[in-house]
Amino acid sequence: MAERKAFEIFPQQESFMDSSPDRCRTCAVVGNSVNLLGSHYGPLIDFHDVIMRFNTARTVGYEGDVGNKTTLHIMYPESAVDLDDHTHLILFPFKIRDLEWLVSAFTTKSVTMTNKGLKSTVKANQGLRLILSSSCTQVKVLYPGFIQYVHENWLGKKGRYPSTGFMGVVLAMHICDEVSVFGFGADKDGNWRHYWEELRNKHYGTGPHGGGQEYKRILELAKRKKLNFYRGF
Ligand code: C5P
């Protein structure tokens, strides 16, 4: 029901799957790893056509290391942040309530909880379309079955479910001609620490995700020259 409603509000339009011998769509997938600090990758990241960031990622104050452009910002309700008019919001729905939140966030603003309190609305330019759509439209929803597809086909079901970042890598492999991956990898203690904050839980590890497996898959893809991987520092 929620799924149908969301798909009604955000109708399918053109597809990212278009291809042309005349264009090469380069994409930077920027994870939130602390290994970006001191990397000076900023200008290199900003040089890409599409720059994908995740959840509460920030750029202000970190431009030299992470760049300042964002074209696709991927989030789920609990990690929602306001966006500027030039950034496309992509919702990765993990549960039906997430789709209900999206509909509500752009209509009644009545959904204020999923399994915890959250933003009842989010600022984003409201030309609404479904993934995998492109062009000038600003809000997209990832087909929910994509999560299962990534878990089964790309991770051999390791981890409870794929991380948002790893799904972004797979999404980029589907919609970009050339993929470069930045900001992925645990700190020296094995924790997924963010580049903008101190780690609160020193035993976080990689949370519910198979972080080791995800990292291994990225290295394999890099070795097979399917993507460029920038390890950071
Ligand atoms: O923590 P958050 O999910 O917002 O980070 C975005 C993505 O970046 C993660 O889903 C994960 O794939 C990746 N990440 C990482 N190593 C870190 C932090 C995040 O690979 N230290």
Superfamily the domain 2-12+22-230 falls into: Glycosyl transferase family 29 (3.90.1480.20)
Measured from the Cα of 167, ligand 1's closest atom is: 12
Contact partners, residue 105, CB within 8 Å, separation at least 6: 77, 80, 111, 119, 120, 121, 122
β-bridge mates for residue 128, sequence order: 139
Cβ–ligand 1 contact at 185 (below 6 Å): yes
Q: Whose CA is nearest to atom 4 of ligand 1?
A: 55
Q: How far apart are CA 128 and CA 230, in angstroms?
A: 33
Cβ–ligand 1 contact at 32 (below 6 Å): yes
Query: Phi and psi dihedrals of 54, rounded to 5?
Result: -130, 145
β-bridge mates for residue 179, sequence order: 27
> What pLDDT does residue 108 have?
82
Among candidate residues 62, 143, 161, 215, the one labeled active-site is 161
Measured from the Cα of 168, ligand 1's closest atom is: 12
Cβ–ligand 1 contact at 191 (below 6 Å): no
> What pLDDT does residue 18 have?
62
47-54 CB contacts, 8 Å cutoff, 24+ apart: 48/180, 49/25, 50/25, 50/26, 50/172, 50/175, 50/176, 51/27, 52/27, 52/28, 52/168, 52/171, 52/172, 54/30, 54/79, 54/164, 54/165, 54/168
Contact partners, residue 231, CB within 8 Å, separation at least 6: 35, 185
pLDDT digits (tens, 9 = 90+) for 15-55: 555 666 667 889 999 999 999 999 999 999 999 999 999 99
Tell me whether residue 209 is one of the annotated catalytic residues.
yes
Q: Pick out the chain residues at pLDDT < 70.
A: 1, 3, 7-22, 125-138
Q: Whose CA is nearest to atom 10 of ligand 1?
A: 165
Domain map (residue ranges) of the chain? 2-12+22-230
Contact partners, residue 22, CB within 8 Å, separation at least 6: none
> What pLDDT does residue 144 have?
80
Cβ–ligand 1 contact at 129 (below 6 Å): no
